[in-house]
Amino acid sequence: MNVLRFLQLRLSYLLSVWAAFGTFFVVAAAISACAQRGAMSPYQGEQDGVSAGGNWMEFRSEDKMTGAKKVRFELQANNYLREDPDYKPRVEIMCSNGKYERTDFSLGGRLGRPDYPGFWGQPKMEVMVRIDGYHDHKGWNWVRDRFLEMDKGTVRGALGAQVFNIEVKTRTGYSIAEFSPAGLNLDEMKHACDLTPHKP
Give the rounded distance of the alpha carbon of 105 from its chain centre.
11
pLDDT digits (tens, 9 = 90+) for 66-114: 999 999 999 999 999 988 889 999 999 999 999 999 999 999 888 999 9
The mean of the pLDDT values for the chain is 86
* pLDDT > 70? residue 56: yes
Q: Identify whether the C-beta of residue 100 lies closer than 8 Å to the C-beta of residue 93.
A: yes
pLDDT class of 30 with cuts at 50, 70, 90: very low
- Give the pTM: 0.79
Residue 163 pLDDT exceeds 60: yes
Assign 107 to helix, strand or coil: coil
pLDDT band (50, 70, 90) for residue 17: very low
Classify burial at 85, counting beta carbons within 10 Å of its beta carbon; exposed 0-12, middle 13-18, buried 19 or more: exposed
> Domain coordinates of the chain in residue numbers?
2-38, 40-193
Alpha carbons 179 and 168: distance in angstroms, whole number: 14
The model's pLDDT over 35-45, given as tens digits with 9 standing for 90+, comes to 444 688 888 78
Q: Regarding predicted confidence, which is higher, 144 or 142?
A: 142
Query: Residue 3: is its pLDDT beyond 80?
Result: no
pLDDT at position 130 is: 98
Q: CA separation (Å) from 67 to 25, 71, 96?
A: 41, 13, 10
